[in-house]
Amino acid sequence: MVLLWKNALCVTTLVVASSGVVHSFSIPDAVSLVNSGSEGLMNIVSTAESPMEAVSMLPNSVKAAGVAAVALPVAPSVLQVAKSIQQLGKNDKKAKGSGKKQSYSSSNIVTYPEGQAATYEMNDNVVPFEFGDAAFVRPLLKSTQLETRPLQVVYDANRDGYDAKTFHSKVDGKGAAVVLAKVAGQWCGGYNPRGWASLGQARSSVAAFLFYKQPLKGWQKCRVSRTGSMACGNDLYDSGIFFGADSFIIPLRQPNPRQVTSRLGQYFEPCPDGKLTILPRPSLEYELQELKILTGVYAPDEIIPNSGGVLELGYY
């Protein structure tokens, strides 16, 4: 959970609440940024006597987003804060233009924006005061159900262990998910609109995609091919991550739980440069350096799309 706190002396501080711990960071020139920012910013600026009191004053719906917060070791850059303030201004103008008051309350209306193949376009939406892994993958989520939803890291293999059963205990029932992996210094992964539920069967979606970070460039997506779209090719409780039968595979099994392979062409389209893998080089098996799963943050009374999966076997 991230908010700006302005005390009686008008000193603005960034407050990050994570796992019950409050971290405060002074932001250079933040006062001028606030003064030039939008009215929407004031929705999260409290006049509390302390950061802890400011956190306690937040609405429950906003507190729910605290699960996705990152404990920052250093203060974020002024540029990052400025972008957050700018986005709040856009949100505020949009709300005023529609005649509706901006609200952070949850909704039980379940929508599925992913009825078509994934777009190559990048997401230019900025979730205010979002940093870390969530901000890193945000550009990939254009036209997905996670496009503007706060994200949380529910599974970190370096923290939780490279094990399939542990993986499922962390991700099952969490809905749409982003797989973020680091292999030989390169970032890659995939978007699974269906998530996992240990159903023991494939879960298809035409909106699934794989991605990789191009050296000295940005993200590149690889969409599902016309011949298949197994976003989750294997949802067994003791198996790991399967995009298609061979497109992006992380079994999370012994004797090498860090093993990762990728071969494109049948279930997911080849890379634009003709490369048939999202890994650094084709025809090679690599070991994971990092593996994380990010899912959306939902309020306690919200319905999570695809969290059960039993009646959700359509091709959307």
Asked if residue 230 and residue 141 are part of one domain, the reply reads yes
- Regarding predicted confidence, which is higher, 300 or 6? 300
Asked if residue 88 and residue 142 are part of one domain, the reply reads no
pLDDT at 80: 55
pLDDT at 146: 93
Asked if residue 180 and residue 58 are part of one domain, the reply reads no
- State the pLDDT confidence band at 297, using cuts at 50, 70 and 90: very high
pLDDT in tens, 253-272: 999 999 999 999 889 999 88
Instruction: Let me know if residue 316 belongs to a domain.
Output: no
Asked if residue 245 and residue 201 are part of one domain, the reply reads yes
pLDDT at 25: 41
| Average pLDDT over the chain, rounded to an integer | 73
Separation between Cα atoms, residue 254 and residue 249, nearest integer Å: 14
Whether 144 contacts 116, CB under 8 Å: no
Q: What share of the chain in percent tops pLDDT 70?
A: 60
Longest dimension (CA), the chain: 63
Asked if residue 53 and residue 159 are part of one domain, the reply reads no
Separation between Cα atoms, residue 200 and residue 236, nearest integer Å: 4
pLDDT at 189: 97
Instruction: Let me know if residue 60 belongs to a domain.
Output: yes
Q: What is the mean pLDDT of residues 274-284?
A: 87
286 is written with which tokens?
């690599």
pLDDT at 111: 52
- State the pLDDT confidence band at 240, using cuts at 50, 70 and 90: very high
| Res. 11: pLDDT tops 60 | no
- Regarding predicted confidence, which is higher, 206 or 104? 206
Q: Can you spell out the DSSP letters for 48-92?
A: -SSHHHHHHTS-HHHHGGGGG----SSPPPHHHHHHHHHHHHHHH
pLDDT at 117: 83
Instruction: Let me know if residue 70 belongs to a domain.
Output: yes
φ, ψ for residue 32, nearest 5 deg: -65, -35
Asked if residue 154 and residue 87 are part of one domain, the reply reads no
Cis before residue 255, ω within 30 degrees of 0? yes
Q: What is the DSSP letter of 123?
A: P
Whether 194 contacts 306, CB under 8 Å: yes
Whether 147 contacts 123, CB under 8 Å: yes
Instruction: Let me know if residue 44 belongs to a domain.
Output: yes
Whether 187 contacts 180, CB under 8 Å: yes
Residue 191 lies in domain: 132-296
Instruction: Let me know if residue 51 belongs to a domain.
Output: yes
Q: What is the mean pLDDT of residues 148-172?
A: 96
pLDDT in tens, 42-90: 334 334 444 455 445 554 544 444 433 333 333 444 455 556 555 555 6
